[in-house]
Structure 1
Amino acid sequence: MIKRRQLLGGMAAGAAVALAGGHAQAGAPPPGTFTASDVHVKDYPTVQAIQWIGEQLAKETGGRLSMRVYHSGQIGRENDTIDLTRYGALDFTRVNFAALTNIFPVSGVLTLPYVFDDVGHMRRALDGTVGKDLLAALSQRGLVAACFYDSGARCIYNGRRPVHEPGDLRGMKIRVPLSDIFMSMAQAMGANPTPLSFGEVFTALQTHLIDGAENNWPSLDSTRQFEVARHWAETHHSMSPELLFISERSLRALTPADRDLVLDLATRSVTMMRTLWDKDEAAARAHCIANGVQVTEVDKDAFRRATEPVLKTYLADPDRNRFYRRIRQEA
């Protein structure tokens, strides 16, 4: 049987090959070049935010430090890049909280149904002491949780029919991230949850392996999933944000001044990312609708009632419950 350490070693070796291949194509990287990974395409707001960090690093250190960003899942799935960053094969990785719930149970509080009332509520909570304490709680196992990025309101879309209430999802295979919470949530809403990695969704929709998925407007648009899933239901069932992790090993190797600079730039990148996100989300929605996506208003109270047992189940954990109560106080 292959042990976990052997598996991680193989993953790190594979990442090294992928990184080396990218370096060979672009020329040998200079010393001080960080590596970063994101599953989204190069123009996605999270990718641009990480690129901005790299640009500012180069500017403020006279080119002594810089960043090379591997977008579009070049290094692997989010679950893989988390481990690679833990062991120093990557320096930065951007992941959604859906990829963290099985690894860091407390993180699940941010993915649970209807935790946030709206974007303003989410930003207030994450920008305040609740967010700072969550970042501290997630900075473990060789990872430093640097900052939160927005990911909008997750909704359900499919290629079969409009969805107005949970009963309309009965019999539908809906893609969810590889997360117990998201599987439970989809099941509570009446769907058959089908966990798949993000990069597999378009083909799965096209071949009818799944009937639909749940995500945000930019993800529907950037992957062109709108071509095969034209029914969008405004469920807003989760506002699961994104997280930028930095390898603890990478940070420890820096001087205190450089370490502070990296962490400061990560924090400063949030404002820039949100500006891009708000603009991109509006443009993605308009583009998808112009290309035939039909938006359906749903009975949101019915979806809240349907998912309430999921909320109660996962809030039995005292750490999640404590953070949940603090988040609700920011509503």
Structure 2
Amino acid sequence: MIIKFPAKKLGNLLALVTTASAVAFSSAANAEWKGWNIHNTDYPVTVALESFIKEADKVTNGRVNGRVYNGAVLGSQSDSIQMLQVGAIQFAGFSLGPMGDAVPEVNVVSLPFIFKNLDHMHRVMDGSVGDKLSKAMEKKGIMSLAWYDGGARSFYNTSKPIQTPADVKGEKFRVMNNELYVGMIEALGGNATPMAYSEVYQSLKTGVVDGAENNWPSYDSSNHYEVATYYSLTQHLIIPECLCVSVAAWNRLSPADQVLVKKAARDSSQLQRKLWAKRDEESRKKVLAAGVKFNEIKDKKAFSDAMKPVYAKAVQDNPSLKSFIEQIQSVD
């Protein structure tokens, strides 16, 4: 089932579908793929996506070629999910956070503390769980060719370090627009404020919110470290990203080209993870040198224990998550 969207957006998508169809008709021998990307030119995901389409072009002798459109110029991620479903674009680099609206099973990776650490996330997503999530996405017109690293999100705020769940009580924290993230803050006794990312800096500066949460590179590139000078390493959310393709575009490829394109995607994933690790360390050093007050929470049990109601509600709302949770937790 495709997500419903407003008439104005529908008109834009239909225009893109018409354009995509015209390209496919006029160039039947080649698959000219449009790629969506929210990040700017030097971001690890951007470099990896561009490497992918360049390699796909090379190994298929031009039968799969295309371009990555960076900076969300083709629309928001919710727009692009819809465009991928209807075949108006052919590939994208997505965070799995917003994907849950289209594919409810994917919400499992948005559960706080579902992954032990980044290495655990990689093992899970590169294994049978990742394959099953891609199968669930495939039913909605999208499939994952490879899993990218989205880093680990931690709390940062303006007034004090977060050492225990009690330090969150009464604090106003900006979260992404997802019921699971709202529940996460409320389970810690805080007040969750869903808000557009572009509004967070000013809201931190003026006290509309006391804090937010994100990974080191985003904390750095957004300049949030200038106004929220306490960074507490909770790593409560480790949300993978994917190199996703339109099932319609994928099915038009020959089996031989599918093998070649998938390998190009997997190779791009290894590149992205290396670049992400480097960028993560560079951002951490930069903000600490700027005077950010950093504390690491070595024992996160009190935080993870507080998430039991969040898990219970998630499973109640979507019983299919139960088996995914069990499978993820069984991976060493």
TM-score normalised by length of structure 2:
0.86
How far off its partner does 1:71 sit? 1.9
* Alpha-carbon contact 2:102-2:140 (below 8 Å) kept: no
SS of the equivalent of 1:117 reads: coil
Structure 2: runs of 5 or more not aligned: 21-29
In 2 relative to 1, CA 64–137 (structure 1 residues): closer, same or farther, beyond 3 Å? Answer: closer
Amino acid of the structure 2 residue aligned with 1:304 = S
Match of 1:320 in 2: 321
Match of 1:247 in 2: 246
Q: 50-59 vs 94-103, which deviates more? A: 94-103
SS of the equivalent of 1:100 reads: helix
Q: 3-12 vs 127-136, which deviates more? A: 3-12
Match of 2:220 in 1: 221
* Alpha-carbon contact 1:45-1:273 (below 8 Å) kept: yes
How far off its partner does 1:211 sit? 2.7
Q: What is the root-mean-square deviation in Å for CA atoms of aligned residues?
A: 2.6
* Alpha-carbon contact 2:111-2:180 (below 8 Å) kept: yes
Match of 1:90 in 2: 89
* Alpha-carbon contact 2:152-2:235 (below 8 Å) kept: yes
* Alpha-carbon contact 2:17-2:87 (below 8 Å) kept: no
How far off its partner does 1:247 sit? 1.3
In 2 relative to 1, CA 40–198 (structure 1 residues): closer, same or farther, beyond 3 Å? Answer: farther
User: In the TM superposition, what are the counterparts of 1:243-322 in structure 2 within 5 Å?
Assistant: 243-298=242-297, 300-316=300-316, 317-322=318-323
The reply to whether residue 186 of structure 1 matches residue 185 of structure 2 is yes
- 1:166-223 deviations in Å (ceiling 9; x for gaps): 2222333222122111111122122221223434433443454433211111111222
Match of 1:12 in 2: 13
Amino acid of the structure 2 residue aligned with 1:89 = A
* Alpha-carbon contact 2:176-2:195 (below 8 Å) kept: yes
In 2 relative to 1, CA 323–189 (structure 1 residues): closer, same or farther, beyond 3 Å? Answer: same
How far off its partner does 1:4 sit? 3.7
In 2 relative to 1, CA 327–74 (structure 1 residues): closer, same or farther, beyond 3 Å? Answer: same
- 1:118-166 deviations in Å (ceiling 9; x for gaps): 2222121111122212211221222122222111221011233322222
Hey, what's the Cα distance between the residues in 1 that align with 2:288 and 2:237? 21
TM-score normalised by length of structure 1:
0.87
* Alpha-carbon contact 2:103-2:140 (below 8 Å) kept: no
How far off its partner does 1:320 sit? 1.0
How far off its partner does 1:14 sit? 7.8
In 2 relative to 1, CA 72–5 (structure 1 residues): closer, same or farther, beyond 3 Å? Answer: closer
Count matched residues.
Answer: 319
How high is the sequence identity, in percent, across the aligned residues? 34
SS of the equivalent of 2:287 reads: helix
Hey, what's the Cα distance between the residues in 2 that align with 1:182 and 1:292? 28
Q: 203-212 vs 303-312, which deviates more? A: 203-212
Hey, what's the Cα distance between the residues in 1 that align with 2:56 and 2:179? 37
How far off its partner does 1:32 sit? 4.1
Hey, what's the Cα distance between the residues in 2 that align with 1:100 and 1:83? 10
Match of 1:24 in 2: none
How far off its partner does 1:51 sit? 0.8
Amino acid of the structure 2 residue aligned with 1:156 = F
How far off its partner does 1:321 sit? 1.0
Amino acid of the structure 2 residue aligned with 1:314 = A
Hey, what's the Cα distance between the residues in 2 that align with 1:5 and 1:196? 21
Match of 1:151 in 2: 150
Q: 219-228 vs 79-88, which deviates more? A: 219-228
Hey, what's the Cα distance between the residues in 2 that align with 1:113 and 1:86? 28
Hey, what's the Cα distance between the residues in 2 that align with 1:115 and 1:254? 35
User: In the TM superposition, what are the counterparts of 1:193-232 in structure 2 within 5 Å?
Assistant: 193-232=192-231
SS of the equivalent of 2:140 reads: coil
In 2 relative to 1, CA 84–197 (structure 1 residues): closer, same or farther, beyond 3 Å? Answer: farther
User: In the TM superposition, what are the counterparts of 1:32-111 in structure 2 within 5 Å?
Assistant: 32-111=31-110
The reply to whether residue 123 of structure 1 matches residue 111 of structure 2 is no
- 1:233-255 deviations in Å (ceiling 9; x for gaps): 11111211112221122223333
